[in-house]
């Protein structure tokens, strides 16, 4: 998955230090043993070679993990075979801990997702792949959505990643930042190998463990991958049909509602109360009573008209507005990112012959990590708690920002622009 879906969303720790909340697993040096009498024939004791702290920490984690893996039903023979000689991959640790210095504006992200070449390939494949209608009928997920996932996750199967998934999960688990999650995925990967369905050599994916053409993490593979082509294997690496059907099954289990849309662009009236952004989920008629209108001027289908929708403003009041229908949130079970879900939906629309948004994406300057963190610190200083100052502009930060914007009689769209950063820093007394 970009679930690596990918997840979409990538956070240099060298070696294999443990960064769990409990602190590093550092070695405690025991007191020297009391001198023992030695017979004249006994050779003098040989000083022990010290073990580097990092290696000792990893060995400690590995021994502890073995106990948990055995309790999860894995055999000692399997663990001995697959974990013998395994070491953390410094590249995986580095990639996991590296946060982007600059945050790409959503408009730039969408423009990168929807290229003319990608649209042309998707439209060609929707005509060439004869099994797509069957997958669509079986799982209720439109072919264009599946093609968009395929395009986003692996460039239609061309970029799947070549990391050893077991070693990647070992690295992430031993490092400790996401230990519980990574150990669960490592156990799932080992169970896949134990089943005989996929060999260790075949278990390749991204640095974060997302595998195959549709980038499934090991637990998702075990739970939702399907053998659509009937060859007896759930082959998300080599089989296009298995990959797309597996993605459809994942989305269906994530709550996809057949016959319902994913989102519609809307136009907001003058003087609109932006504070309802990312708030209530109401049927389109409720929004229409507030002056919200579809940008394309078309009527709602019966299924969409009966579905609750949330207003989202991914680029703030200056950019396109959307009423996000239930299937927008089903896409986010693949990768819990508004930008990712928008990318999938808008790309799918283009595959089906749809047009780009009516309202253009605003031209923006990317926000630096220091500016994002400064805005969060400023919000907390002026009494609007955004959560930890980690530079990640998530739901908590946007909620706090909307409340602050309301207090300043600004459009409460919850969008952190350069102007908002400057205003917050000035009010909180943070010097540039």
pLDDT, tens digit, 9 for 90 and up, residues 193-207: 999 999 999 999 999
Q: Rounded to whole angstroms, what are the CA distances from 89 to 39, 103, 120, 167, 168?
A: 47, 27, 38, 7, 7
Average pLDDT score over residue span 375-379: 97
By mean pLDDT, which of 33-42, 119-128, 347-356 is the weakest?
33-42
- With b meaning 16 or more CB within 10 Å and e meaning fewer, what string describes 326-360? bbbbbbbbbbbbbbbbbbbbbbbbbbbeeeebebe
- Position 122 pLDDT exceeds 90: yes
What's the pTM?
Answer: 0.84
Average pLDDT score over residue span 295-320: 97
Q: How far apart are CA 61 and CA 220, in angstroms?
A: 25
What is the rounded average pLDDT for all residues in the chain? 88
Higher-confidence position of 158 and 18: 158
Average pLDDT score over residue span 133-152: 98
pLDDT, tens digit, 9 for 90 and up, residues 410-419: 999 999 999 9
Average pLDDT score over residue span 214-223: 97
Q: How far apart are CA 341 and CA 320, in angstroms?
A: 15
Give the pLDDT score at 169: 98
Give the pLDDT score at 270: 95
Residue 34 pLDDT level (bands cut at 50, 70, 90): very low
By mean pLDDT, which of 3-12, 67-76, 196-205 is the weakest?
3-12
Contact assessment for residue 382 and residue 404, using Cβ atoms and an 8 Å cutoff: yes
Contact assessment for residue 349 and residue 370, using Cβ atoms and an 8 Å cutoff: no
Residue 43 pLDDT level (bands cut at 50, 70, 90): very low
Q: Tell me what percent of the residues of the chain surpass a pLDDT of 90.
A: 83
- Position 30 pLDDT exceeds 50: no
Give the pLDDT score at 98: 78
- Position 21 pLDDT exceeds 70: no
Average pLDDT score over residue span 109-127: 96
Half-sphere exposure of 186 (CA within 13 A, CB side): 26
Give the pLDDT score at 27: 32
Give the pLDDT score at 53: 44
Average pLDDT score over residue span 257-269: 98
> Tokens 């996000």 identify what position?
324
Give the pLDDT score at 157: 96
pLDDT, tens digit, 9 for 90 and up, residues 86-107: 999 999 999 998 767 778 899 9
- Position 209 pLDDT exceeds 80: yes
Contact assessment for residue 310 and residue 284, using Cβ atoms and an 8 Å cutoff: no
Q: How far apart are CA 148 and CA 142, in angstroms?
A: 10
pLDDT, tens digit, 9 for 90 and up, residues 288-299: 999 999 999 999
- Position 15 pLDDT exceeds 50: no
User: Of how many residues is the chain composed?
Assistant: 432
What is the SS3 assignment for the chain? CCCCCCCCCCCCCCCCCCCCCCCCCCCCCCCCCCCCCCCCCCCCCCCCCCCCHHHHHHHHHHHHHHHHHHHCCCCHHHHHHHHCCCCCCHHHHHHHHCCCCEECCHHHHHHHHCCHHHHHHHHHHHHHCCCHHHHHHHHCCCHHHHHHHHHHHHCCCCCCCCEEHHHHHHHHHHHCCCHHHHHHHHHHHHHHHHHCCCCCCCCEECCCCCECCCCECHHHHHHHCCCCCCCCCCCCCCCHHHHHHHHHHHHHHCCCCCCCCCEEEEECCCCCCHHHCCCCEECHHHHHCCCCEECCCCCCCHHHHCCCEEEECCCCCCCCEEEECHHHHHHCCCCCCHHHHHHHHHHHHHHCCCCCCCCCCCCCCCEEHHHHHHHHHHHHHCCCCCCCCCCCCCHHHHHHHHHHHHHCCCCCCCCCCHHHHHHHHHHHCCCC
Give the pLDDT score at 20: 30
Give the pLDDT score at 431: 86
């Amino acid at each position: 998955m970009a679930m690596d879906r990918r997840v979409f969303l990538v956070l240099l720790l060298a070696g294999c230090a443990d960064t769990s909340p409990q602190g590093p697993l550092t070695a405690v040096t025991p007191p020297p043993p009391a001198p023992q009498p030695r017979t004249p024939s006994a050779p003098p004791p040989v000083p022990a070679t010290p073990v580097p702290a990092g290696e000792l920490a990893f060995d400690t984690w590995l021994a502890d993990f073995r106990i948990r893996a055995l309790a999860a039903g894995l055999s000692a023979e399997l663990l001995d075979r697959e974990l013998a000689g395994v070491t953390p991959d410094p590249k995986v640790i580095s990639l996991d801990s590296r946060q982007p210095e600059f945050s790409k504006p959503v408009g730039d992200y969408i423009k990168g997702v929807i290229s003319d070449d990608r649209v042309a390939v998707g439209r060609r494949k929707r005509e060439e792949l004869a099994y797509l209608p069957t997958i669509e009928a079986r799982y209720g997920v439109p072919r264009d959505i599946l093609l968009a996932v395929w395009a986003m996750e692996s460039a239609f199967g061309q970029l799947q990643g070549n990391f050893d998934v077991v070693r990647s999960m070992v690295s992430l688990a031993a490092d400790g930042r996401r230990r519980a999650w990574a150990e669960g995925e490592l156990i799932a990967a080992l169970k896949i190998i134990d089943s005989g369905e996929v060999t260790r050599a075949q278990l390749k994916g991204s640095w974060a463990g997302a595998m195959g053409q549709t980038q499934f993490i090991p637990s998702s593979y075990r739970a939702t991958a399907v053998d659509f082509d009937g060859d007896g294997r759930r082959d998300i690496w080599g089989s296009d049909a298995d990959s797309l059907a597996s993605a459809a099954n994942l989305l269906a289990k994530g709550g996809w509602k057949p016959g319902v849309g994913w989102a519609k662009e809307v136009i907001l009236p003058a003087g609109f109360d932006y504070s309802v952004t990312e708030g209530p989920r109401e049927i389109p008629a409720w929004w229409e009573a507030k002056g919200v209108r579809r940008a394309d001027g078309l009527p709602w289908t019966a299924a969409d008209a009966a579905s609750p929708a949330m207003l989202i403003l991914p680029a703030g009041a200056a950019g396109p507005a959307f009423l996000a229908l239930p299937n927008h949130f089903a896409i986010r079970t693949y990768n819990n990112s508004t930008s990712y879900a928008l990318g999938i939906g808008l790309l799918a629309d283009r595959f089906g012959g749809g047009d780009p948004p009516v309202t253009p994406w605003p031209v923006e300057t990317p926000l630096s990590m220091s500016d994002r963190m400064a805005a969060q610190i400023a919000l907390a200083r002026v009494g609007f708690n955004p959560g930890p100052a980690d530079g990640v502009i998530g739901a908590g930060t946007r909620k706090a920002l909307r409340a602050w914007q309301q207090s300043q009689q600004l459009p409460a769209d919850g969008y952190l622009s350069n102007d908002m950063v400057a205003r917050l820093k000035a009010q909180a007394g943070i010097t540039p």
